[in-house]
Structure 1
């Protein structure tokens, strides 16, 4: 596994990762749709110890449908989210896959909140589904 670098749009905030992802997932919840400006979010979870963050960030805390907190870190210059942490998973860090700008990034293996999935969205074969 080679080193991967995720960055915001202006390049000021970066995350350097030296291990492969624990899991790559798709989230169809309405909050992820709003966060990404797309019809779903795609993110990769990593062991926090394998991630190095550089640059300045601001945080936004979102309360999920089931009451859990996610703290999103975004660039104060361009506004792009580069990483976030989920309450109860303090040993991991989640990074939006698009921040890597790497078309060969591993495909998602898990899909959640599919009841909010847009009808025209197709998913990879063999993906694990969670309503």
Structure 2
């Protein structure tokens, strides 16, 4: 099985996952725009197990449906590297850009399309949701 490693900008924090992503998604919500400093976040979900090396700072945010997400940042360079959903112990989501792999699979899902900047074009076949679908 193929292993992939994503790293923060300074290299202090990394996460290694195995296999192909379960899902690759982009989120255009204002919280993700603020969190990433970009106009959307791109996350790939992977099954456990995963291995983290280095120290991380945590930030917990509650989503629209009451779900609590725990975001992990590098305390040195500030890179938001990965997150988990409280109560979901079998999946981790990793920031796609941190893999440094231009051949990484394209997103299949786009959420909060109501907040998507009009000049952002999605790849063909992406399933689009106006907001975050429950569940």
Aligned to 2:88: 89
CA distance in 2, matches of 1:82, 1:70: 13
Deviations 1:99-121 (A, max 9, x none): 11110100000011101111111
1:14 is matched with 14
- Please give the alpha-carbon distance, in whole angstroms, between the structure 2 residues aligned to 1:77 and 1:105: 26
Give the Å deviation of 1:2: 2.7
TM-score (norm 1): 0.95
> Which ranges in structure 2 are unaligned for 5 or more consecutive residues?
131-135
Q: Is the 8 A contact 2:28 2:115 kept in 1?
A: yes
Which residue of structure 1 lines up, in the alignment, with residue 116 of structure 2? 117
SS in 1 for 2:32: helix
* Aligned equivalent of 2:28: 28
CA distance in 1, matches of 2:95, 2:85: 13
When the two structures are aligned, how many residues end up with a matched partner? 130
Provide the residue aligned with 2:133 in structure 1. Answer: none
The aligned runs of 1:47-66 (5 Å cut-off) are 47-49=47-49, 51-66=50-65
Alpha carbons 2:18, 2:46 under 8 Å: kept: no
